[in-house]
Structure 1
Amino acid sequence: MSTSRESLWSIGELAERAGATVKTVRFYSDQGLLPEAARSSGGHRRYGPAALERLQLIRSLRTLDLPLNEIRRILDDEDTAAGALEDAVDSRLRELGNEVKALRWREAALRLVRDCPPTQRAGRLRLLTALGTPPSTAPLARFWRTWLPPRMPPRATAAFLDAAVPQPPDEPHPSQALAFARLHAMTTAPCPDGRQPQPEVHRVAGAGGAALLYAGLLEAFELAAPHLRRAHDPHPGEALDAYVAAYASAYRSRDTQDFRRSLAARLASEPRLDRYWELTAVVLTRPGSRPQPTPGSTDAWLRAALRRDNARAA
């Protein structure tokens, strides 16, 4: 051993030099993070200058709130220490982000309870208690999976869920938190007859046809969304053509004026989930901002455009 006996310190001397407590030094030593250089004749631990540097590094890493297992990984392999430290910091940043998001949701929930009339507090508490912090989108996704046709291809289902399920905002306004809580309650409540009513087109198109239908609808929604953002009145155009084409493929028909008239009648009789889309718009939009288009609001715009087109052609 190259370290002389004169340069070795007792556990108390090492603690004093590091500005730590003896208890802290003993803990890291017992954990195997701070190897001793030697033992005294009486069996007491002795540490060298390398231990001081290692102890200072450990304490610096602990100030970043890194767990001991990550610190051990960083210390054990000098060749990969830089990469291990970067991975550990990234992981901790993600954890902190989730913790901050949870705190923001708790704050919004507390404001909702504090600021509502006393007669509404019990109801709001029931709504908010059912949510996690931050809330999960899993119940909303399950709701839509029961709406979509059975055996629809997973990729098509995932694309629709991305558009239909709103992500909880990281810093929710109380109104957004309340809207998400109401969405959660709506999507977890049992249906009166045990299953949501299904559009006729699901039965006609089947799983494969429904995949084409929803792919076409999503394309039409993307084309129509800029018009909603600019508050344009519903009107015929490329977005409506894509919308009608999606239904024409599902019904194995062609886009004719007769088909457009029959489609408008079919859509008018289908079940709608207006309340879901109203709440989704609130979740996506902070107060004072222009409402963000949702698949529901975009579908309503396109239906209105279809009715206008039919009226013009009559």
Structure 2
Amino acid sequence: MTQQALKIGELATQTGSSVETIRYYEQQNLLPQASRSASNYRLYGEEHVKRLQFIRHCRSLDMTLDEIRTLLAFQDTPEGNCAGVNTLLDRHIEHVANRIKELKALQIELKELRNSCLTIQSVEACGILQNLASAEDTDPKNLGSHSGGCH
């Protein structure tokens, strides 16, 4: 079976990725280097399509690039055991559970803030804006663990 070579734009279209994302994943060593055509175009094969689909699925599960890199390393050594995969996923599940708690707390805080201005009035009298302006807790470490772009 002959493998059809895809240019980067074709790979992007086929996988629903952007060209920039594909290049970034290549720079991050998540995708193997593509071969080059005589005119120096990158040429991708089915292994690139499958790997990019795997990466995209992991990203849809909110996994970090480091987590994906680790999973790809496991995938690249199929003779090993999957204990490390299980451990990684257990940690990710715990991370998601913590984020859900943080988001629920954020939702409560936002609802309380919204309740501070229940009628239409002048901006000057807006309870929401007054509360935001006088917020005591502006310490960045209390903004939640997700604020730093971890995922």
With structure 1 as the length reference, what TM-score do the two structures score?
0.33
| 1:233-267 Cα shifts (integer Å, max 9, x gaps) | xxxxxxxxxxxxxxxxxxxxxxxxxxxxxxxxxxx
Q: Which has the higher helix share?
A: 1
In structure 1, distance between residues paired with 2:14 and 2:108: 47
Q: 2:137 aligns with which of 129, 137, 142?
A: 129
The total of aligned residue pairs comes to 124
| 1:21-75 Cα shifts (integer Å, max 9, x gaps) | 2222222122211113421112221111111111111111110010001111111
State the percentage of identical aligned residues: 31
Residue 49 of structure 2 aligns with an amino acid whose one-letter code is L
Runs of 4+ off more than 3 Å: 79-85, 106-115, 128-134
Report the equivalent of 2:87: 87
Structure exhibiting the larger radius of gyration computed from Cα positions: 1
Structure 2 gap segments, 5+ residues each: 117-126, 145-151
| Distance change (3 Å), C-alpha of 1:51 and 1:109 | closer
Residue 106 of structure 1 aligns with an amino acid whose one-letter code is L
| Distance change (3 Å), C-alpha of 1:109 and 1:16 | closer
Report the equivalent of 2:44: 47
Residue 17 of structure 2 aligns with an amino acid whose one-letter code is A
Residue 129 of structure 1 aligns with an amino acid whose one-letter code is D
TM alignment of 1:1-314, pairs within 5 A: 7-77=4-74, 78-79=77-78, 80=80, 82-110=82-110, 114=115, 129=137, 132=142
Backbone CA RMSD of aligned residues: 3.3
For the Cα contact (< 8 Å) 1:66–1:89, is it kept in 2? Answer: no
Structure 1 gap segments, 5+ residues each: 135-314
Greater RCO (Cα-Cα under 8 Å, separation 6 or more): 2
In structure 1, distance between residues paired with 2:13 and 2:112: 51
Report the equivalent of 1:223: none
| Distance change (3 Å), C-alpha of 1:75 and 1:81 | farther
